[in-house]
Structure 1
């Protein structure tokens, strides 16, 4: 109705949107100001295979040269660094859904520059049911929903299942992360998946979770798995 649009316009004037990071007046299309948007760490120079941030762009990082990942490519438009990490922590651990909507919008905008061919379906890294009850939502799924709509991709939120509750990955080194995840995932046998899928998570740290999920998908017959994440963490020193 026309009157609703007028009310919304008046509210925008009376209560202008504020930046979620610094509380300055926000841009018209995002809950960020122009300065904070410019401060977000973009992942421009990275490994072509795993999206690891690098000082200079390279075909492959040392880890991918040593141990070929089970996924074909990785896309992570941001580096996991300040101030993006503040928004991610609020979304993931403080149930700040406004931060989640902002992060999803940033991911959709970055994906608008994708070139075909796209995968035939989008999946997300699942949470174990105990963690899902505790948190109330799967942050990867909340990012995947608007991305799937924007790219016109079918979303299969339950194709991949987490059947074992694992120790939190934070604080573990790469080898311990791999051991922690063995046998943690399975494919829902009722699902029929296409030969090319993308698998989404919120943050790719060492890549252990996405590697294990991709391995399970490949073993189930998916020929190509691409991994997508909002942000990629730099290599640990």
Structure 2
């Protein structure tokens, strides 16, 4: 504690958005934290923000008409400009200081309900992970397990799923393109018989990646699959979207 206080005195922590000095445990000033867009009325399945939270039993139109292999998406924030900036630096610039910030933000806002038996990060293809040097989903999952006292006894199995082919970067693809990109992309390397699984990722855009990975987890025996991510893009999901 003394060493940390001395370090903070010499190099005061700054807000990761506005760069002002902050005097709190989280590296985000109160103004910037309040400016983040919370996902107040998400669809009970895909976490798409609902215009009318009282219609359709809490489901968006797409989830009323389609079925998915995941049970629900837990996404406490919407993917706005501020989160896009931080997640972009985290993923593409390797700014690992953002891992505890983003993980703590998730823990402060998410309502995950019944806790899972194990956490499975959405994997990167080995070439992409080699170039990037890390898998951001695994970093997030490890932080959640470390910081949440009731998750510390849960299993973290980063090797349960692997990507068997290098998919194109999802950013910039439409819903149909993302679906084709994710189809057949994963391999299951074990079983999860009768287990409740939390599939951990950074952002849910169309649900195609989560659905493809969840399909394999179901085939491996999972009784329930939740998708835990930092943010949900506010656009619609057409079909499996």
TM-score, normalising length from structure 2?
A: 0.89
1:135 aligned partner: 132
Query: Hey, what's the Cα distance between the residues in 1 that align with 2:40 and 2:84?
Result: 17
Alpha-carbon distance in 1 for matches of 2:25, 2:226: 29
Deviation of residue 194 (structure 1)?
A: 4.5
Contact 1:91/1:100 (8 A) holds in 2: yes
Instruction: Give 3-state SS (helix, strand or coil) of 1:83's partner.
Output: helix
Q: State how far apart, in whole Å, the 2-side matches of 1:8 and 1:72 are.
A: 42
CA contact (8 A) 1:121 1:194 kept: no
How far, CA to CA, are the matches of 2:62 and 2:192 in structure 1? Answer: 32
Are the equivalent residues in 2 in contact too, given 1:124–1:200 (CA < 8 A)? yes
Question: Is 1:97 the counterpart of 2:93 in the alignment?
Answer: no
Note if contact 1:177-1:208 (Cα within 8 Å) is conserved in structure 2: yes
Please, which runs of 5 or more residues in structure 2 have no aligned partner?
none
* Structure 2 residue matching 1:227: 3-state secondary structure: strand
Matched, 1:53 2:49: yes
Q: Deviations over 1:4-42 (max 9, x none)?
A: x44432332343211111111214111111100111111
One of 33, 41, 52 as aligned partner of 1:37: 33
Contact 2:192/2:221 (CA < 8 Å) preserved in 1?
no
Does the CA contact (< 8 Å) of 1:108 and 1:146 recur in 2?
Answer: no
Most deviating of 10-19 and 208-217: 10-19
Structure 1 runs (4+) greater than 3 angstroms displaced: 5-8, 191-194
Q: 1:208 maps to what in 2?
A: 208
Alignment RMSD (CA, Å): 1.8
Separation of aligned partners in 2, 1:163 and 1:198: 21
Q: Which runs of 5+ in 1 are unaligned?
A: none
